[in-house]
Amino acid sequence: MIPDLGKYADTVMWSYVVSIALLVALIVFSVMRGRKVRAEMEKVEQRMTRNG
Amino acid sequence: MSIAAKANALWEYANPRKFLATSERVMPFFWITSIACIVVGLIWGFFFTPDDYKQGSTVKIIYLHVPAALMAINCWLMMLATSLVWLVRRHHVSALAARAAAPIGIVMTLIALATGAIWGQPMWGTWWAWDPRLTSFLILFLFYLGYVALWEAIEDPDTAADLTSVLCLVGSVFALLSRYAVNFWNQGLHQGASVMRAAAVTGADTEEKVSNIYFYPLLLCMIGFVLLFIALVLYRTGTEIRARRIKALLARERVNG
Amino acid sequence: MIALLLRDLKLALRAGGGFGLGLAFFLIVTVLVPFSVGPQSSLLSTIAPGILWLGALLACLLSLDRLLALDWEDGSLDLLATAPLPLESVVTIKALAHWLTTGLPLVLAAPFLGVLLNLPVPGFSWLVISLLIGTPAMSVIGTFGAALTVGLKRGGLLLSLLVLPLYVPTLIFGAEVARRGAMGMETQTPLLMLAGITAATIALLPFASAAVLRINLR
């Protein structure tokens, strides 16, 4: 399945692993923070409407 | 609340709301196409392109290295543009978009530096060389760090937006200056580095070297990275707008008792 | 204007901080370098211009957070902002005072420390010239950084981080002049670039510093 990468296999694999890990981490962190902030805003907005 | 303040608050509220509504609508398109482009481009590049006769299989790193480097620079340009818009038009979404983009720039710079180091090890025999391109990216990385740190350090959001915008403008001038200084400095120090630079498959060298076999998957990855950047900026700007709104609401709550 | 300059100079001398600190730091760096890299005079004379430039830059950096912070704390910056003097001249004078109390002593001390590092003889004049031209830029850039972080509680670390990349071009060209001078090479190109950077920063950066200060005083 994995193509023959010759003597540079480690180099190529590591760059892919590191880069994709960084990208995924960025996306996951963004989405996690986005979810948290959105939930918090709804909470605050609800409280505001209840209290007038 | 005075009428002027009310009008101001309304204005502040209206535009971000429109932004949120529009970005919610277009975001799925950007997420799907960007991830599709990157996945297809990477699989194409990784599994279906031959090894380079000189660099062996390491040429496959190009599909990550070049798009990341491209976005690291374009992200700064986008921040420069949005900072200018904020300073001139006082458009809040603009300042928040610059703030949202900076961490993406940091990650892109990190990817470019990391893949460059991993690639450089077998090609140049060293993880790091004070080559002009590498050095410029390190300086860019420092600029990003300072920019984000300044945003985090200042309490008042408007002051933070103003100060970071000015830093972005001044920083851009100095980044450009550093680019030339670094070019000059390295020529002055290492005459022999031209051997290494010839081996560096980055930027200008790429144009001549990368044949069509490598070019199409690379193009696909570049498009994917651009779209991913747009999707991330839209999403993160939305987060910043909501965080800002929470802050404003809580402040109002405190004032009203 | 002159009164403000004199006041700043007097304060710097009396407080003892800004004036002595930079010089002491410069001395420490140059004295410690031979202990860490070894006493071979050939090695030392190769790296001497770079070390001296780096020491001067770090000494400058060290004294930056006091540049505006004291005036900010006791409220005299607010007074200066409402005074008839434009804020642009205020920051220029602040930078000038910083240069006179930090930059100039460093320039004068550099040749003596050059002796300790076996700086080649032709290098002395070039070292002094490059520092003389380069240190004003460092003061002006530093004032910009200090203006950015003036309102912050612990702005010192952030200030260093912000100013660090801004110092890169000055350091590169300045150290290059000193290095080429020490090796007896042609120095015109980096010297002109260094002078250009200094002139441009002195002409333009005070506007940015004043703008930033206005935002912070708002």
- Give the residue from C191, C175, C211 showing the smallest Cα distance to C47: C175
If we measure between CA atoms, which residue out of B75, B81, B64 comes closest to residue B100? B75
In chain A, which residues have their Cβ closer than 8 Å to the Cβ of B232? 26-27, 30
| pLDDT score, position C101 | 87
Q: Which two tokens stand for residue C134?
A: 């380069």
* CA distance between the termini of chain C: 23
Give me the DSSP letters along C67-102. Answer: HHHHHHHTTHHHHHHHSSS-HHHHHHHHHHHHIIII
Contacting partners of chain A (3+ CB pairs under 8 A):
B
Q: Which of residues 129-168 of B touch C (CB under 8 A)?
A: 139, 142-143, 145-146, 149-150, 153-154, 159, 162-163, 166-167
The whole-angstrom separation of Cα B59 and Cα B223 is: 19
Nearest to C201 by CA among B174, B163, B169: B174
Q: Does B128 touch chain C (CB under 8 A)?
A: no
Q: Which of C168, C176, C215 sits opposite B139 (nearest CB)?
A: C168
Q: Would you state the pLDDT for residue A3?
A: 66
Map residue B90 onto helix, strand or coil: coil
Residues of C in contact with B169 (CB under 8 A): 208
What are the Cα distances from residue B9, in Å, to B3, B247, B256?
A: 10, 13, 16
Q: Do A19 and B111 touch (CB under 8 A)?
A: yes
Q: Give which of C28, C59, C71, C69 is closest to C156, Cα–Cα.
A: C69
Spatial distance between the Cα atoms of A36 and A26, rounded to a whole number of angstroms: 15
Q: Is the dihedral of CA C91, B98, C171, C161 positive or negative?
A: positive
Interface test with A, best of B37, B42, B107, B109 (most A CBs within 10 A): B107
Beta-carbon contacts of B30 under 8 Å, excluding residues fewer than 6 positions away, are B227, B228, B230, B231, B234
Q: What angle do CA C200, C201, C206 make, to 5 degrees?
A: 120
Chain B CB contacts of C161 below 8 Å: 142, 145-146, 149
Inter-chain contacts counted by CB atoms under 8 A, chains A and B: 95
B interface mutation test: which of C91, C141, C162 has the most B CBs within 10 A?
Answer: C162
Q: Which residue has the tokens 């505006």?
A: C68
The predicted pLDDT at position B57 comes to 79
**Cα–Cα dist C129/C175, whole Å:** 11
pLDDT of residue A52: 57
Region class of C119: left (phi > 0), else alpha (psi between -120 and 50), else beta: beta
* Residue-wise pLDDT tens digits, C37-74: 888 888 888 888 999 999 999 998 888 888 888 788 88
Q: Which of residues 162-201 of B touch C (CB under 8 A)?
A: 162-163, 166-167, 169-171, 174-175, 177-178, 180-182, 184-185, 188
Mean pLDDT computed over C100-125: 89
Tell me, yes or no, if A34 comes closer than 8 A to chain B by beta carbon.
Answer: yes
pLDDT at B195: 32
- Global pTM reads 0.86
Q: What is residue C149's three-state secondary structure? A: coil
**In 10 A of CB C43, how many CB atoms?**
14
Query: Is the Cβ–Cβ distance between B196 and B131 less than 8 Å?
Result: yes
**Interchain proximity A7–B115, CB inside 8 Å:** no
Residues of chain A above pLDDT 70, percent: 88
ipTM of model: 0.86
Contact C57, C171 (CB under 8 A): yes
* Residue of A18, A22, A37 with shortest CB distance to B246: A37
d(CA C18, CA C8): 11
pLDDT tens, N- to C-terminus, chain A (52 residues): 566 667 777 888 888 999 999 999 999 999 999 999 999 988 988 887 777 5
What distance in Å separates the CA atoms of residue C49 and residue B189, rounded to the nearest whole number?
Answer: 14
To the nearest whole Å, the CA of B141 is away from the closest chain C CA by: 9
Cβ proximity of B164 and B86 under 8 Å = no
Alpha-carbon torsion (C42, C46, C52, C54), positive or negative: negative
**Whole-number percent of chain C with pLDDT over 90:** 36
In angstroms, what separates the C-alpha of A21 from chain B's closest C-alpha? 10
Distance of residue B54 Cα from the nearest chain C Cα, in angstroms: 34
pLDDT along chain B (257 residues), means of 10: 51 69 90 94 86 76 89 94 90 91 95 88 79 86 94 89 94 89 65 36 46 80 94 94 88 80
Closest among C152, C95, C102 to C131, alpha carbons compared? C102
The CA distances from residue B71 to A16, B16, B79, B227, in Å, are 17, 25, 12, 10
Does the CB of A21 have a partner CB in chain B at under 8 Å?
Answer: no
Structural tokens at position B239 = 């987060």
**B to C contact (≥3 Cβ pairs closer than 8 Å):** yes
Query: Residue A20: which of B65, B229, B51, B52 has the closest Cα?
Result: B65
CA-wise closest residue to A26 among C76, B105, B138: B105
φ/ψ of B201, rounded to 5, equals -95, 75
- pLDDT at position B151 is 92
The confidence score (pLDDT) of residue B18 equals 83
Residue A5: in which H helix or E strand, if any?
none
pLDDT, tens digit (0-9, with 9 covering 90-100), for C160-212? 999 999 999 999 999 989 988 888 888 888 899 999 999 999 999 999 999 99
